[in-house]
Structure 1
Amino acid sequence: MTTSLTPPQLHRSAGTRRGGLAAYYAAALAIRTSDAGSAAAIVLLALHTARDGHPSLGTYAGLLASCLTIPHMLGPLSARALSLIPNARLGLTTAFALFAMTFGAAGLLMAHAHIAMAALCLVIAGFLGPILTGGLSSHLGSLLPDNRATQRRAQSADSLTYAISNSVGNSMVGAVAVLISPLATMMVLAALAALAALLATLLPLRDIPRASASRASVKNVLLVMVKTKGLRDIMIITYGNAIGFTSLIVLATTFARSQHLPAATGPFLLAVMGGGSLLVGVWFTARPLTVDVVRAAKWCAVASGVFMFLPALGQTWSAAVAFLAVGGCQSVLNTAALAVRREASPPDLRESVFVTMAGAKVGVATLGLALAGLVPVDAMPYGFAAAGLLSLLAGLSVRGNK
């Protein structure tokens, strides 16, 4: 015997769903803006404190920032810790709140030149990083009907929150630092994380099956990711592309210097890339992806690789076109990655897979930044060619599902 919902029940269900989605996207924007601007805020505060009578802190600016970014690579351990909390909403709320407390405490400690304690707080905050991104995204699908078009639209909107947060986070850090102080930037970012924790308590998350301790172990989660074709393919595509894509953050400045262009050219190219990501994200939120998502990711990585070769021509117009197109491709690729993680992951390990893959992506992105930093100005064309080749090969290395 089946039961159907009455009109009032349907209305309440739809209202709950809309309220849950509003809380989700608000929390996503808040926590991802906090995460996106955190490294820049740390460096600004360290340099400011060094000028105010603690010169040794300036030496540790990069090291303190790495205390936040490097622990992201421990995503498998972050996933294991999150899996120990039986209630999904409690797990997210706890992670967001703990990030707010440790990041805010690190700012206060840095302002008084307590380097060791600040570094410890930042390591804890960095360990939580993959949960802020992948952990939250893993639950988006549970807020929606299991309808492909609806899921794709929501995943595109989720990808859009990353693009918005990256733009707003870094811009806000610079603005608050100039208008108030660098310490205020860290306090604002910590407050955003605290707001995300409050919003997470409003998420109407469905109960999800929890894996046993042995099944949720780091080793088993990694094995599932490697053995599951969809997850394996999307890892190859996104990680190969991520090395090339993140290298553009450094190579944009290298391009400007090699062509003797104004210093603002580098940030301009990155803004163009962000604009491309935003435009495409809005488009696919309105008109959801209908093609196979792995195939979409594959050809977006290939297209990104081709466009990354264009700045090597040394023309500003070609660089602008390339950055715009790469930003657009990245939006589709991110949406595809979210879709594949949801659909290919076992339900009881979905949260762990999202968190693990989010942490690993930060690791390969850091590698891209480091490698790009080694490219001398006169070797600029080779830097773009190498970035393009990595993305191109990552896409072409994945074969069809059949």
Structure 2
Amino acid sequence: MSQQHTASTPRKAKAPPPPGRNRGGLARYVVAAALARTADGGAVVAVVLLVTSSGGSGTLAGVLGACITAPHLLGPFVARSLDLAQDGRKVIAAACLLYATALTAGVLAYGHVPAVLTGLLLATAGTCGPLLTGGISSRLPAIVGPRLRTQRRAQGWDVATYGVGGTVGPSLVAALSAWVSPTAAALALAAVAATAAGGVLLLPFTAPSHGGDRTTILKPGATLALIARTGHLRRTVYLTMVVALSVAALPVTAVHMTHILGGEPATAAALTASYGLGNLTGSLAVMFLPLTGSPDRLMRRLALGVAVSLLAVAAGPTLTATIAAYALTGILNSCFFASTLAARTEYAPRGARSQVFIWVAALKITSGSAGTALAGSLTGANVRLPLLVGLVAVSAAVAVATVEARFTRADEHASWTPPALRRW
């Protein structure tokens, strides 16, 4: 009798672990994000080297390289599928696999099919790029849980994965291109992206933000309108864009500043390397000493710090001082980036979090590209002019944000709830 009773009694389902309690979730996230961003960060270099090494024109190399980067502007439209999905991991993993497949096809097809077809294949890969960057970042808050300090530390790790991707990706391409060929380098990046897909699927499952009601998910245009009318998010966008535009001048000016400072041409590499090392140092600092306070205030203060460091670069009297100023700019920019991740996490509504992340990322990439082009045109007049324009632009943006925040402080302070008090 007792056996029948036992057999007929349903077993209680094991409750899933609460957010942030899944052991190893952050470690798996860091590995998957670093792999995805390494593939995305090195693809442009691989495509450019592929074209130029085979005798193609610089114009064609630039156009095909743009096919990888320009589709990031479509990211907000792709991001809605992430907010709508029951399991966002599958959407991002599928994007990684499509990225790998399209990049492989585009690279192998180059020279055998019309350039237009190659461009379309590369553009397909580029369309997946936003999900490999901002899309993965949007998963992080639910993985690490609602504790503010834990989130801020995790955002430091996230910043580090961007640094790894931006450094390891191009370096891997350069090494494999020299040892084997640019084609082999591009195929290696495709393999890295495919590996990232497996890493994403191993991330902890997080419940969909729509809670079963997909009608609550905003469309891309409505999300952009939400950003525009929400002071916290609006300031996040324009501060991010202006800082990205300003620091994009650093690699360009590094090449020309060697003539002024009396260094060898290879000194430009030392300047850009010090900036990259500063970025890594800043992300490590945020890991061990997480940022505290309102993200809105942090963004303004750190953006102003970036402006001051740009002034230090422009005014550097010696090569050593300039290298130190480049490193300082990297540190402050890395901390600023972490503060923007905090702002996107803490101010974006759950039903549009992925879209907000990717809208900001897409606009940042666009602004950075514009900053590179602007710096290239201004250095002809004066080497330091791009830096001066950048620090004036950042200072003006901080001033506008400060005035705007003071006028809307009461309303927005009442509407902002720390993550620790939210329902996840």
Deviates more, 1:77-86 or 1:302-311: 77-86
- State which of 304, 311, 314 in structure 2 corresponds to 1:302: 304
Deviates more, 1:125-134 or 1:57-66: 57-66
Partner of 2:343: 340
Helix, strand or coil for the counterpart of 2:292?
A: coil
- State which of 15, 35, 41 in structure 1 corresponds to 2:40: 35
Matched, 1:246 2:251: no
Partner of 2:51: 46
- State which of 380, 392, 397 in structure 1 corresponds to 2:395: 392
Helix, strand or coil for the counterpart of 2:382?
A: helix
Amino acid at match of 2:249: S
Partner of 1:355: 358
Normalised by the length of structure 1, the TM-score is 0.91
Deviates more, 1:109-118 or 1:377-386: 109-118
Distance 1:75 1:319 in 2: 36
The residue correspondences of 1:135-284 to structure 2 (distance < 5 A) are: 135-210=135-210, 212=214, 215-284=217-286
Amino acid at match of 2:385: Y
Partner of 2:6: none
Deviation at 1:113, TM superposition (A): 5.8
Deviates more, 1:379-388 or 1:252-261: 252-261
Relative distance call for 1:58 and 1:240 in structure 2 (3 A) is closer
Distance 1:12 1:307 in 2: 44
Helix, strand or coil for the counterpart of 2:209?
A: coil
Relative distance call for 1:81 and 1:12 in structure 2 (3 A) is closer
For the Cα contact (< 8 Å) 1:208–1:347, is it kept in 2? Answer: no
Deviation at 1:13, TM superposition (A): 7.2
For the Cα contact (< 8 Å) 2:96–2:193, is it kept in 1? Answer: yes
Partner of 1:121: 121
Deviation at 1:128, TM superposition (A): 1.5
Helix, strand or coil for the counterpart of 1:374?
A: helix
Distance 1:351 1:225 in 2: 13
Distance 1:220 1:300 in 2: 29
Relative distance call for 1:183 and 1:289 in structure 2 (3 A) is same
Deviation at 1:83, TM superposition (A): 4.0
Matched, 1:19 2:21: no
Relative distance call for 1:42 and 1:129 in structure 2 (3 A) is same
Distance 1:12 1:138 in 2: 20
Normalised by the length of structure 2, the TM-score is 0.86
Deviation at 1:249, TM superposition (A): 1.8
Distance 2:356 2:20 in 1: 30
Helix, strand or coil for the counterpart of 2:290?
A: coil
- State which of 312, 321, 325 in structure 1 corresponds to 2:324: 321
Deviation at 1:214, TM superposition (A): 7.7
Deviates more, 1:74-83 or 1:370-379: 74-83
Deviation at 1:278, TM superposition (A): 1.0
For the Cα contact (< 8 Å) 1:309–1:385, is it kept in 2? Answer: yes
Amino acid at match of 1:168: V
Amino acid at match of 1:268: A
Distance 2:303 2:87 in 1: 36
Cα-to-partner distance string for 1:100-153 (whole Å, 9 max, x where unaligned):
111111111125464222100111111121111110000101112211111111
For the Cα contact (< 8 Å) 1:241–1:394, is it kept in 2? Answer: no
Distance 1:217 1:100 in 2: 28
Relative distance call for 1:380 and 1:226 in structure 2 (3 A) is same
Distance 2:108 2:21 in 1: 39
Partner of 1:5: none
Amino acid at match of 2:288: A
Amino acid at match of 1:31: A
Deviation at 1:75, TM superposition (A): 2.3
Pairs aligned (count) = 389
Deviation at 1:218, TM superposition (A): 1.6
Helix, strand or coil for the counterpart of 2:401?
A: coil
Amino acid at match of 1:17: N
Gaps of 5+ in 2: 1-13, 411-424
Cα-to-partner distance string for 1:67-111 (whole Å, 9 max, x where unaligned):
111111222222234445442111111111111111111111125
Relative distance call for 1:59 and 1:371 in structure 2 (3 A) is closer
Distance 2:353 2:16 in 1: 30
Helix, strand or coil for the counterpart of 2:145?
A: coil
Partner of 1:370: 373
Distance 2:88 2:279 in 1: 30
Amino acid at match of 1:36: G
The residue correspondences of 1:91-102 to structure 2 (distance < 5 A) are: 91-102=91-102
For the Cα contact (< 8 Å) 1:33–1:189, is it kept in 2? Answer: yes
Distance 1:117 1:39 in 2: 17
Gaps of 5+ in 1: 1-8
Distance 2:87 2:227 in 1: 24
Amino acid at match of 1:231: L
Deviates more, 1:203-212 or 1:363-372: 203-212
- State which of 323, 329, 334 in structure 2 corresponds to 1:331: 334
Let me know the Cα RMSD of the aligned residues: 2.2
Partner of 2:68: 68
For the Cα contact (< 8 Å) 2:83–2:217, is it kept in 1? Answer: no
Distance 2:350 2:20 in 1: 26
Relative distance call for 1:293 and 1:260 in structure 2 (3 A) is same
